[in-house]
Structure 1
């Protein structure tokens, strides 16, 4: 009898511990949504952004004005102009959407951050660059260590010499941060979901690395009718290449959608925003 009682007690304890180790998604009906629009940026690397003779906003950037403060209300118009080849796009993709409105929700439970993105599938029909994935969604966080990241968002990782850029000569060169390194803290934490079922946890420093992160717990997505929904579950702390999050803290935040089987630079991107845990930000993750 004693052994039976001990075995039963241990089994109950293990089941309880196991159940508690799984993250439970929040009640999304109680989480407010930020309405953010991703747009087609074409060939607009940071070198173009900061060149005053080509981009009028370069002067404002030098004064400390963010891209969002100037362009938040016109991202759809910018995307339309670029996607049709009127500006910064030498290789027009017929039928590609200039912009996609996205609802972004965030919450946390003290141990995990939950991010949910929902949007309606726009019309497409272009050649399939990525035949395996109809959609990919990537999110990047930055811990206020990279110069200008609070102003330019993820553009500090986008350079003219990267692959698929008109000036790119090296097919292996992807996103990177000038003078970036994990040791200095100058990096972007990167997580990604793919419609094929893949999930990646990496970073962008002196180069882009799609693995090694310890914070991403899960990434799930589905399409119901014409609407996509993607949910990330991420631990607040991880390891090298993972930006540490905590209640009261705000970090720089941006995301990108590779729509209609696209790859490389042919994605839809957000401007730079802020994400706060129990803190005022463009997207606030309140504890639930």
Structure 2
């Protein structure tokens, strides 16, 4: 099997190189090899490689910048998945694609199901939702995994930012009214490898392609998440200027940003767990593993 992996230098792409390597020939590309905002170049690359599968963790993820870089965000998050779907359909490949909790409005406290109607509140979320739709319309052999608050040992993320700030400042103010589940890139990569392995072993005639919510179990908010990260670092012997109790909760309104964030990013993963008979561990387990690698 030959797999084309995009975004190989990102948090998830880095982990996917590890998890997929034992299963297939992985052709890993980053921006240097192919700019996903260049649709003709992407199309030509896929036609040249003719992969059996495309794994697409690449995305425009600068949520606030997207508000002023709408065209670029849409080229990468909407147009590129469409091109991948069209070319995959032509060469008989499947596509695994990753999306976001930001497709939802984020009100209330219920866990969002796959059947709930998306209502993105920012450009990034809209571009990702439109990308889901475009891919699925172009390619029936597509699997879309919506996830939340991705954290990994490679690349930038909230946990690393908190560690840096806590080592420099006496106190921190962190938003406490946005809820979700930090999900480790390693978990998503391992799940992806499991599913690719099933296609390898069983073929994909009965493989349940479609849309699934895939996130770690449990719920937290950014404030509690920050405290957890700092406490774990201190247990590992790291010196922190900000103690966990010095992380102060603030509201979203007190920390205005160009792009509106959902207050509720809870994703119901029941469909995924039942369909694939896979268990999704608690978010603290994944974050603790990441911290063990970077501390």
What's the TM-score bracket when you normalise by the shorter of the two chains?
Answer: under 0.3
The TM-score with structure 2 as length reference comes to 0.20
The TM-score with structure 1 as length reference comes to 0.21
- Greater helix share, 1 or 2? 2
- Greater strand share, 1 or 2? 1
